[in-house]
């Protein structure tokens, strides 16, 4: 039977190192979610494996998405750019609908599908990468002209910002702004526009940060968490204590005590603190090395696509690098007290289904790009660049 044109494309082998790093991180994340969540799961449900079992299902689904997306023909994604963006916008609106939308602690960020909950902001990041890559490739030199090139992007960004801040999801909006800025800059936006946009975006984010009392409290607590250790600085203080207890080599996997109702969000936003306590700074540095190597491999894949003249998927790879690496840096920075306390999941590690699945979807497409453009020798790369330059 003939395969559909968009399914299981026959290309070269995917980037093996990136494959294994992703799988190792998924497996390690599952272990740490169990270790970090067992006391809370036992207290709330009577089953210490409750969150680990759910995370196991998410990991299986994410791994399946990673595999199949690495085999889908890349031309399919160019055709799906606008449909996925429209679906993302609709999903962002659906979180506010009764019954369908789910509100937790006053935040409307999830859609209820009975069995699972979908966080549309994670789908948006994947769709936005495709949308921006296509937009930049199509507009080209027009990016330097406000009316023809930038105005449509500002309209889209404004709409997305409105929907995300109404939820409210300040972290996702910050990531959307970062992705947009990086993609436009790599697409050839003049540096003066980049600097101006950065000043405007930074000012807007700053105003939003101080406009809500709880956000302002987090910023001041980040500067000196010990000034209010039982209030605004509580999370960061507990995180720092966890790292302090772990020292260099850690207290041992599963032997940490900060997860016993001392450290809030121990298996989500602050899971790195649990890693630091149980595996020490050795474990934290090993994790940082894994992230760094993965980012380097993604960059190399994007560079090969660019050398082959495929600007669309080169930009997509660089955007995925920004998403993956950016969230890793921000999550680590928050846990270590280097950045203001804000909820950022540790990529492929923290508990949660939507973030895991859609990040693996994006990484799967990157692996598909590595299949289309396998590693070449220096001579082959030089020859390919000459062919691109001469049309």
pLDDT tens-digit readout, 137-152? 887 776 767 666 678 8
Q: In what order do the strands lie in the sheet with 101-104?
A: 101-104, 107-112, 117-118
Query: To which residue do tokens 């453009």 refer?
Result: 373
Q: Which of 149, 83, 144, 91 is nearest to 118 (CA)?
A: 91
Residue 374 has pLDDT above 70, yes or no: yes
Token reading at 105 = 């602690």
Report helix, strand or coil for 333: helix
Rounded Cα gap, residues 283 and 285, in angstroms: 5
CA distances 142 to 18, 184, 190, 266, Å, are 35, 11, 11, 47
What integer best gives the mean pLDDT of the chain?
85
Report helix, strand or coil for 337: coil
Rounded Cα gap, residues 128 and 135, in angstroms: 10
- Predicted local confidence at residue 378, as pLDDT: 46
Calculate what percentage of the chain has a pLDDT beyond 70.
84
* CB 220 within 8 Å of CB 232: yes
Q: What is the DSSP letter of 149?
A: I
Residue 219: which pLDDT band, with cuts at 50, 70 and 90?
low
Neighbours of 329 (CB within 10 A): 17
Q: Which of 338, 337, 339, 329 is nearest to 237 (CA)?
A: 337
Burial degree of 299 (CB within 10 A; 0-12, 13-18, 19+): middle
Give 234-277 pLDDT, tens digit per residue. Answer: 888 999 999 999 999 999 999 999 999 899 889 999 999 999 99
Residue 167: which pLDDT band, with cuts at 50, 70 and 90?
confident
Beta bridge partners of 103: 108
Q: What is the DSSP letter of 112?
A: E
Q: What is the DSSP letter of 148?
A: I
Segment 45-71 mean pLDDT: 95
Instruction: Give residue limits of the domains in the chain.
Output: 16-373
Query: To which residue do tokens 């699945």 refer?
Result: 357
Residues near 361 by beta carbon (within 8 Å), at least 6 away in sequence: 65, 66, 69, 126
Q: Which of 226, 246, 244 is nearest to 235 (CA)?
A: 226
The continuous run of DSSP H or E covering 117 comes out as: strand 117-118
- Predicted local confidence at residue 1, as pLDDT: 45
Residue 11: which pLDDT band, with cuts at 50, 70 and 90?
low
CA distances 132 to 126, 248, 318, 339, 347, Å, are 10, 42, 11, 28, 22
């Amino acid at each position: 039977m003939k395969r559909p044109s968009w399914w299981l494309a026959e290309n070269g082998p995917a980037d093996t190192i990136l494959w294994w790093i992703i799988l190792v991180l998924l497996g390690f994340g599952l272990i740490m979610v169990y270790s970090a969540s067992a006391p809370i799961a036992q207290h709330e449900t009577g089953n210490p494996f409750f969150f680990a079992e759910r995370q196991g299902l998410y990991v299986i689904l994410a791994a399946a998405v990673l595999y199949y997306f690495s085999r889908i023909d890349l031309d399919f994604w160019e055709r799906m750019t606008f449909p996925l963006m429209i679906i993302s916008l609709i999903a962002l609106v659906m979180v506010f609908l009764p019954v369908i939308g789910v509100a937790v602690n006053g935040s409307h960020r999830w859609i209820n599908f009975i069995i699972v909950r979908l966080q549309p902001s994670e789908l948006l990041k994947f769709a936005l990468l495709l949308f921006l890559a296509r937009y930049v490739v199509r507009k080209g030199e027009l990016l330097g002209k406000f009316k023809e090139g930038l105005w449509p992007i500002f309209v889209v960004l404004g709409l997305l910002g409105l929907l995300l801040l109404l939820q409210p999801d300040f972290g996702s909006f910050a990531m959307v702004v970062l992705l947009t800025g990086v993609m436009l800059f790599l697409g050839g936006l003049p540096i003066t526009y980049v600097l101006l946009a950065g000043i405007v975006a930074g000012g807007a984010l700053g105003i939003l940060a101080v406009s809500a009392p709880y956000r302002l409290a987090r910023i001041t607590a980040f500067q000196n968490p010990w000034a209010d250790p039982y209030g605004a600085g509580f999370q960061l203080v507990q995180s720092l204590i966890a790292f302090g207890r772990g020292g260099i080599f850690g207290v041992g996997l599963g032997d940490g005590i900060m997860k016993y109702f001392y450290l809030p969000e121990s298996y989500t936003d602050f899971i790195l603190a649990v890693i630091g306590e149980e595996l020490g700074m050795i474990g934290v540095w090993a994790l940082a090395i894994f992230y760094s190597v993965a980012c380097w491999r993604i960059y190399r894949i994007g560079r090969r696509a660019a050398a082959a003249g495929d600007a669309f998927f080169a930009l997509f790879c660089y955007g995925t690098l920004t998403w993956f690496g950016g969230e890793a840096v921000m999550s680590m920075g928050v846990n270590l007290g280097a950045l203001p306390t804000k909820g950022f999941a540790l990529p492929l590690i923290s508990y949660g289904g939507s973030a895991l699945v859609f990040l693996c979807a994006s990484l799967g497409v990157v692996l598909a790009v590595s299949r289309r453009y396998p590693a070449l020798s220096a001579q082959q790369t030089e020859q390919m660049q000459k062919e691109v330059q001469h049309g």
